[in-house]
Amino acid sequence: MNNIPKIIHQIQEETQPLFSDFFSNLSQSWVENHPLWQYKLWSLHDIKELIHCEFPHFATFCDNNLNNKLLLEISRYFILYREGGIFVDSDIECIEPFDDIVKDKQCCFSYVPQLSSKKIISDSLIISKRESLFLKFIIERLDSNLNCLVEEGISFLNKTYSLYDCKDEVEIISSSIINPCSPIEIELLLNGKISENSIDNIISEAHSICYYLKERAQSKRRMNSIDVLYLSSIVGQGGAFRAAHRIHLGLRAIGIDSKMLVLNSNLGEKGNLLDNIHVAIPSPQEKVGYHNDLEPLKQYPAYNMASHTFAPAMAGTDVNRYIDIFNPKIVQIHWINAGYIKIEDLGKIKKKIVWRLADCWPLTGGCYYYGDCKRYLTGCGKCPKLGSEDMDDLSHEIWKRKEKAWKEMDMVIVVPTLWMKQCVENSTLLKGREVFVIPNGLDLDKFYPVRKEIAREVLNIPSDKKVILYGATNAINDMRKGFSLLLQALQSLSDAYKNEYYLVIFGAERQRLDLDIPFRFMGYVRDHQILQALYSAADVMVVPSLEEAFGQTVTEAMACATPVVSFLETGPESIIEHKRTGYLARYADEKDLAAGIEWVLSSTKLNDELSVNARARIEESYDIRIIAKQYEKLYHQLLNS
């Protein structure tokens, strides 16, 4: 007996003219594959009429509290409860009839096609009989507390399913049948970067495919009473800047009115507008920018200008006039060097300040990381980076300027790792300040695993090798990033594994390496798809940094289900769980680094287990939504103190 009525439901939505024909063709695919089925296209008027006639107890609340987008989003549950059939989003194409799939079914959903440690149920295509008890349970949950949909967002359906006792009444169909391709795979397909043979393998069982072109109905979040002005030199490039941008967007996603004020933006006018980013305009008298800030360093010929390891902060624009205009409750500082803000102007900020440290610069007389030098504890001077033997050199001058300015600031410190917390607590300039550990977060809708075979095909990486990935800004020349130790580790492994291993490097241009293991340089990667594919193509990511405040590549790789090998006694130690999500080698020990790489790659079974654990670790602790909530809690604490 077939319980599912032969009706296909879709919602008539206002779409951009660019995509209207495409959506029309997708809808037609459902009609053509189901000639004996009824096809119903629901308008907003039709949906409101259904709710008023069939769900009158919900109608008044609906009229007074729901915007049209949210109403369209939840209408699928009401439509199917009353009429039954198949509800399908407008950006899904039917490639095979569903007649056999719906036989003897009661209520069916499918999983989101992302290779995640958690199975996520999708509502983009729902199959149901009339008056399904599970759909009734969903409607009752909405009826009792509509805020649960706003608060939980994409998790609403999954949370509701977890609360439902009679799960045997609900069937979750494999994504290989309903929607086999992840968003990035669809983008690669549409851009012609995946071969037809690979796509045929992926969709061999599929009856439908989602193209992820429809803008999902999202409730517009009401901004709460907390407003933040987020200060960061640049947005759109670099690890620290990406971290700042992600935190800013995460704050906005949970309803905090965060505005970002930057010196330079690489997002363009439209990107700035969409993300609420404001570009500071210096006055004609102000000297700003990286080159102006380097001027005082020219008196120290021993300093390597290309190293980018020291900032005097003598150039910059006065951001206090913007603070007066925006009048935020909280000013959050991130990375403000490269000639953005002078030390003295930081000391003039008369607001509650959260300084989220991107490196050790606030603790020192100018260097971003101090290495073995301990002079930052006693006022600097005789700076080894400057090649100076003068006690009253530029580093001492900067240290004294900071000492004076920091005393004027009403601030707490946020660091991303326990290693950075220890650095702050051991320092002199920030000693005694309250320190909170809040890690960097990732948008897990953008960082997730791509099928390894697809990633390697796109990047033209051998499919029969064990791929070792290494990458960083200035990956080869920045000694702090530890590439020389990685090279030594791989040289020691080359005799045994030169025919098995394959090294891929990003963040540097091609150059000669004394290494028997085959290698490939990817250059500087700015395309997110390529970066995601690189992480997914690898069997292990190696982050051999000797000093690292956090380790952005660590979380990005783990989010793409790639285990990571790194050192103890630096930032990644807080992220990697030894022999569960990767391997933590003894500090600066290239032999133990080699042992870690060899261990992670020792068996496919072990590598698969580490990969699943790595992704789970990021989902549990580094989702940007979790991180944003930690900031929100801190803001409330500061404003109520």
Burial class (CB in 10 A: 0-12, 13-18, 19+), 337: buried
Task: Tell me whether domains 228-437 and 452-622 share a fold.
Answer: yes
Q: Retrieve residue 542's tokens.
A: 């190696």
pLDDT at 202: 87
| CATH class of the structural domain 452-622 | alpha beta
Q: What CATH code is assigned to 228-437?
A: 3.40.50
| Average pLDDT for the chain | 90
Backbone angles phi, psi at 291, to 5 degrees: -65, -40
DSSP letters spanning 77-111: HHHHHHH-EEEE-TTEEE-S--HHHHTT-SEEEEE
Least confident of 278-282, 481-485, 598-602: 278-282
In whole angstroms, how far apart are CA 375 and each of 382, 399, 405?
8, 10, 19
Q: What is the mean pLDDT of residues 419-433?
A: 95
Alpha carbons within 13 angstroms on the beta-carbon side of residue 228 total 32
Residue 273 pLDDT level (bands cut at 50, 70, 90): confident
Query: Both tokens of residue 401?
Result: 């300027």
Calculate mean pLDDT across residues 80-85. 96
Which pLDDT value is given to residue 146?
63
Lowest model confidence (mean pLDDT) among 21-35, 98-112, 136-150, 323-337: 136-150
Query: How large a percentage of the chain has pLDDT more than 90?
Result: 72
Read off the pLDDT band of 219 (50, 70, 90). very low
* 299-323 pLDDT per residue, tens: 999 999 988 899 999 999 999 999 9
**Cα–chain center distance at 21:** 32
Look at residue 193 and tell me whether its pLDDT is greater than 90: no
Distance CA 557, CA 553 (A): 6
Domain boundaries, the chain: 7-210, 228-437, 452-622
Q: Indicate the burial class of 562 (C-beta count within 10 angstroms; 0-12, 13-18, 19 or more).
A: buried
Three-state DSSP class for residue 501: strand
pLDDT at 474: 83
Tokens of 513: 């390496």
**DSSP secondary structure code for residue 352 in this structure:** E
Contact 332, 309 (CB under 8 A): no
Contacts of 58 (CB under 8 A, 6+ apart): 51, 139, 142, 143
Which distant-in-sequence residues (6+ apart) come within 8 Å of 103 by Cβ?
Answer: 2
What is the structure's pLDDT at 60? 76
- What confidence tier does 220 reach under pLDDT thresholds 50, 70, 90? very low
What pLDDT is attached to residue 637? Answer: 94
236 or 304: which carries more pLDDT confidence? Answer: 304
**CATH fold of 7-210:** Spore Coat Polysaccharide Biosynthesis Protein SpsA; Chain A (3.90.550)
- Span 18-63, pLDDT tens digits: 446 778 889 999 999 999 999 999 998 999 999 999 998 888 777 7
pLDDT at 356 over 90: yes
Average pLDDT over residues 273-299: 91
DSSP-derived pairing of the beta strands 107-111 and 121-128: antiparallel
Q: How far is it, in rounded angstroms, from Cα 353 to Cα 373?
A: 29
User: DSSP labels for 435-462?
Assistant: EEE----B-TTTS-PPPHHHHHHHHT--
Per residue, what are the HEC states of 24-57? Answer: HHHHHHHHHHCCCCEEEEECHHHHHHHHHHHCHH
> Which H or E run includes 266?
none
* Amino acid 4: pLDDT: 94
Report the C-alpha gap between 72 and 132 in whole angstroms.
20
How far apart CA 614 and CA 576 sit, in angstroms, is 8
pLDDT of residue 17: 44
**Following CA atoms 470, 476, 481, 485 in sequence, which dihedral angle do they give, to the nearest 10 degrees?**
80
Q: List the structure tokens of 140.
A: 């009752």
The model's confidence at residue 217, banded by pLDDT at 50, 70 and 90, is very low
pLDDT value, residue 621: 95
The whole-model pTM stands at 0.82
Among residues 396, 458, 425, the alpha carbon closest in space to that of 198 is found at 458
The dihedral region occupied by 156, where left means phi > 0, alpha psi between -120 and 50, and beta the remainder, is alpha
pLDDT digits (tens, 9 = 90+) for 518-576: 999 999 998 888 999 999 999 999 999 999 989 999 999 999 999 999 999 999 999 99
Is 113:454 a contact under the CB 8 Å cutoff? no
